[in-house]
Amino acid sequence: MLSFDLALSKEPCRLTKEGVEVRGRFVDWKVIEESAKRPRDVYILRAGTVEPAAIVGEHFYKLVMVKWGRPPTLEIDGIHMHRVKDVTPDEDTKLKLRNVESFRGKSVLDTCMGLGYTAIGAISRGAASVVTVEVDRNVLELARINPWSRGLANENVEIILGDVYEVLDSFEREFNVIIHDPPRLSLAGHLYSLEFYRKLATVLKPGGILIHYVGQPGIKRGIKLWTGVMKRLREAGFSVRFDKVSMCVVARLSSF
């Protein structure tokens, strides 16, 4: 049995001296052995050969396995877009989403889609609708390829291509929950700014909750990124706390 969707399912195959036959296609053992040398890479089966699930553009993007049977992470220029130390991408997503008491019937904004695990997780927990925003077409393409991102096809998920800083201008006060998991500060500083947090406050309903992943970059040098984030969120009208387990700032918009 082989899996061609990263362990989501298995299907029969036929082994021969020359290689493996599956779905009426044949893959030579040499091709399989070569790809096996890079067990963390994800490959696409095409016309009797395999190609890395990667895109070369302004940056280098690829899907990377963290653990078999679990969703892959997205890597851009060698930087993982999920926590991968002692945790898998799905576990990381669960830790973030547990900060929301209930998604049932809620309207959710996912500011930075990536592979869509946050949006999929919100829908699976009962959210009525999710708007998820992604700025990079190449990331959208890898999400399309990734079997673990299929949940994005749910009719209650809307995908918007664009910079969320600008996209927010098209919304009014309509979300109960916002999940904000931006790229690191050095890559997307505007998504950590007071101006952006004020924009988030204008689209979040009174009493709504914002989950802002910050992580711990620079912690060994004594840098606590979340302290500046919390200060700016307070200025934008939120009450805040830091959740050490998920490494998220949990912010609630004051009711008025």
Residues 216 and 153 in one domain: yes
Residues 27 and 140 in one domain: no
Residues 226 and 105 in one domain: yes
Q: Is the pTM of this model over 0.85?
A: yes
Residues 227 and 142 in one domain: yes
The structural domain count of the chain equals 2
Report the CATH number that the domain containing residue 110 is assigned in CATH. 3.40.50.150
pLDDT (tens place) for every residue of the chain, 256 residues total: 778 889 999 989 899 998 888 877 788 898 888 888 888 999 988 776 788 999 998 899 999 999 999 999 999 999 888 888 889 999 999 999 999 999 999 999 999 999 999 999 999 999 999 999 999 999 999 999 999 999 999 999 999 999 999 999 999 999 999 999 998 887 888 999 999 999 999 999 999 999 999 987 555 665 678 799 999 999 999 999 999 999 999 999 986 5
Q: Which domain holds residue 178?
A: 89-253
- Give me 168's structure tokens: 């927010």
In a domain, 35, yes or no: yes
Strands (E) across the chain are located at: 14-15, 19-22, 25-28, 43-46, 49-52, 54-56, 60-64, 73-76, 79-80, 107-110, 129-134, 157-161, 175-180, 204-213, 238-243, 248-253
Residues 112 and 217 in one domain: yes
Residues 30 and 100 in one domain: no
